[in-house]
């Protein structure tokens, strides 16, 4: 979630991270609700890390095509 997110979304994200087994909550301080557009490099890195941890091979960004392309 973004560090500049709406307080209601922050509370929901925190609750989900607390209750979902093996969940990881990542916070990007300078971003708000549109994390994938505001901080695409950090968003992509978090998603790729998740996919690799899940054992999905070959997870890598496609040059010129971000998460919101």
What tens digit of pLDDT does each residue of 9-65 get? Answer: 888 889 999 999 888 888 888 888 888 888 899 888 888 888 888 888 765 666 655
Give the closest residue to 39 by CA, choosing from 63, 11, 67: 67
**Residues 6+ positions from 68 with CB-CB distance below 8 Å:** 36, 37, 40
Give the closest residue to 5 by CA, choosing from 23, 30, 24, 26: 30
Question: What pLDDT, on a 0 to 100 scale, did the predictor assign at position 69?
Answer: 47
Q: Is the pLDDT of residue 67 over 60?
A: no
> When comparing pLDDT for 14 and 69, which is higher?
14
Residue 57 DSSP one-character state = T
Question: What pLDDT, on a 0 to 100 scale, did the predictor assign at position 16?
Answer: 92
pTM (2 decimals)?
A: 0.64
Instruction: State how far the alpha carbon of 68 is from the alpha carbons of 3, 10, 15, 43, in Å.
Output: 19, 22, 26, 10
């Amino acid at each position: 979630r973004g560090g500049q997110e709406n307080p209601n979304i922050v509370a929901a994200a925190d609750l989900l991270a607390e209750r979902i087994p093996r969940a990881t909550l990542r916070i990007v301080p300078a971003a708000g609700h549109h994390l994938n557009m505001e901080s695409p490099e950090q968003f992509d890195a978090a998603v790729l890390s998740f996919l690799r941890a899940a054992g999905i091979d070959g997870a890598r960004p496609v040059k010129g095509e971000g998460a919101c392309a």
